[in-house]
Structure 1
Amino acid sequence: MNEPYVKQHIKNGVGYIEFFHPSHNSLPSSLLAELARTIKTAGEDSNIKVIVLKSGGDRTFCAGASFEELVAINDEDTGKEFFSGFANVINAMRKCSKFIVGRIQGKTVGGGVGLASATDYCMATKFAAIKLSELNVGIGPFVVGPAVQRKLGLSAMSQIAIDANSFYSAHWAKEKGLYTQVFETTDELDEAVTIFAENLCNYNPKAMSDMKTMFWRGTEDWGQLLIQRAKISGRLVLSDFTKETLKKYK
């Protein structure tokens, strides 16, 4: 399994959307665009009642944005476009009329924490520690910040954003409200996700859609807000400080 992909299959009314990249499920712009399109299409598919978002492999749910693309940014427009990738996926998840259940099997970093936070109900294994590492490379979690803050609260979000070197355990993330349940193994996680998602399919789709609208009330400006945040990151990544810092990680 070495080729990146975004794929979807439907079983018992559940649309399973899976992404993969051999670099610890980091997401380049092309994969982010495909993921946003797939989520939008699934939201419009009458055969799908509930969506499950997952990633391939066992070790990492998502390592965030593509580092190779990050270090190649040389102008503000490219920077804005790059950082808009996660913004577009989060907004697709936000606007999707169907509940999205997150299946987090391993560590998740940066933009991956934003994806987990943008799900409507999220389950994980005990290996699913989280980290917002953006400050380490001279930027910040500006794009994913609103989604993470909405789910964890300002105090917890600011804690992990400032402490950019540390992974916070899955149980810590559960205590703060990101995960609803934490399982010992991936098999236990998969069984629980399947049972939960298929049970949701028995409920009134209109009721679930209206509930989702209620839960996301107050985020109507995110279409503009997250793109504005992408501009901030796009400018910061061009700073001398960040460029010098990125050289150390090459």
Structure 2
Amino acid sequence: MSYNTLIVSKKAAIAKVTIDRPKKLNALNKEMIQELHEAFKVLEKDSEIKVIILTGSGEKAFVAGADISEFADFSVKEGGKLAAQGQKLLFDFVENLSTPVIAAVNGFALGGGLELAMACHFRVASDNAKMGLPEVSLGVIPGYGGTQRLPQLIGKGRAMELIMTASMISSDMALNYGLVNHVVTQEELIPFCEKLAGKISNNSPVAISNAIKAVNAGFMNNKNGFATEIEAFGASFGTDDFIEGTSAFLEKRKAEFPGK
């Protein structure tokens, strides 16, 4: 499948999705949101793909915000629809994807770009990365989950300050805040993420999918995380992956998970 705003490549059990609008610093627009949805949907159905790495083209930006020209003249109704559709199509979709998604933040991740990185299951940043939610400087607020996911990741007080000041923080500060898991050089970013992805791909994809559901449930007001965990734990005993994993452990060999 070909895309206008993305480059999708595969290597063994790892897929890499590269956002490719370098002249616009990979700014997020409607077409990109739709194409990202389609790309993630296709990759989730690919049984050979165990991990997805999401990054931006070039060395300047992961995604340097949304394309403001697309919504500068929107009405109240149109603005609400923009946020609702974007969250459903992409941000919530990625967060709840059964295949793990690692954000390789290779430069500016601002506004919708940071919101996209936060929707991924975890983040690794290059040492030149800058992150922030500058929306209030435009007279609007983060609309793709930023006011919800940022406090979950770094705490309410720090999130309030970052949103209200519209400030950017460095990758080192993001690491200190817990916004990213690791900081590496630009050259090491993709190889480091591929190494992490390799470790993940050695494990049961069914168990990982259930773990994602259980962890996410703990952050949803209408879900009981503990109950979700108990249910998913019990269901694990009925999977081929459980049979293979326990058999491999007892037989002292490497597990070859069928993903069922």
TM-score higher than 0.5: yes
* Amino acid across the alignment from 1:155: G
5 Å-filtered alignment, 1:82-93, equals 82-84=82-84, 86-87=86-87, 88-93=89-94
Question: Which residues of 2 match residues 37-52 of structure 1 at below 5 A?
Answer: 37-52=38-53
3-state SS in 2 of match to 1:72: coil
Between the aligned partners of 2:128 and 2:156, the Cα distance in structure 1 is 24
The match for 1:190 is 190
- Matching residue's letter, 2:6: V
Please state how far the C-alpha of 1:38 moved relative to its aligned partner: 1.4
Counterpart of 1:25?
26
Shift of 1:85: 5.1
Shift of 1:221: 6.8
Structure 2 distance, partners of 1:60, 1:4, is 18
TM alignment of 1:63-74, pairs within 5 A: 63-73=64-74
1:102 alignment partner AA: A
Q: 1:178 is matched with which residue?
A: 179
Number of the residue aligned with 1:104: 105
CA distance in 2, matches of 1:142, 1:102: 19
Q: Which residue of 2 aligns with 1:234?
A: none
| Aligned residue among 133, 152, 162 for 1:150 | 152
1:114–1:145 CA contact under 8 A, matched in 2:
no
TM-score when normalising by structure 2: 0.78
Q: What number of residue pairs does the alignment pair up?
A: 217
Q: Which amino acid aligns with 2:187?
A: D
What amino acid is the match of 2:191? E
| Distance across 2 between alignment mates of 1:14 and 1:218 | 28
Q: Deviations over 1:125-154 (max 9, x none)?
A: 111111110000111124322122222222
SS at match of 2:217: coil
1:191, 1:109 → 2: CA distance?
A: 24
SS of 2:187's partner is helix
1:189 counterpart letter in structure 2: L
Shift of 1:19: 1.2
TM-superposed CA distance for 1:211, in Å, is: 1.2
Name the counterpart of 2:236. none
Distance across 1 between alignment mates of 2:73 and 2:61 = 24
SS at match of 1:27: coil
Give the unaligned 5+ runs of structure 1.
Answer: 223-250
* Pairing 1:133–2:137 present: no
Give, as a single letter, the amino acid of the residue that structure 2 aligns with 1:108.
Answer: A
- Give secondary structure in 1 for the equivalent of 2:188: helix
- TM-score w.r.t. the length of structure 1 is 0.81
- Residues 14 and 174 of structure 1: CA distance in aligned 2, closer, same or farther (over 3 Å): same
Conservation of the 8 A alpha-carbon contact between 2:105 and 2:123:
yes
- 2:192 is aligned with 1:203: no
Q: How far does residue 121 in structure 1 lie from its aligned partner after superposition?
A: 2.0
Aligned counterpart, 1:119: 120
2:71 match: secondary structure: helix
What corresponds to 2:14 in structure 1? 14
- Could you say which structure has the greater relative contact order, defined with CA pairs below 8 angstroms and 6 or more residues apart? 1
Residue matched to 1:225: none
Q: Structure 1 40/147 Cα, relative in aligned 2: closer, same or farther at 3 Å?
A: farther
State which drifts further: 4-13 or 82-91: 82-91
| C-alpha distance in 2 between matches for 1:142 and 1:79 | 9
Q: 1:221 and 1:103 mapped to 2: Cα distance?
A: 29
Amino acid of the structure 1 residue aligned with 2:11: K
In the alignment, residue 122 of structure 1 is paired with which amino acid?
R
The answer to whether the 8 A contact 2:123-2:182 is kept is yes
SS of residue in 1 equivalent to 2:7? strand
CA distance in 2 between counterparts of 1:86 and 1:197 reads: 27
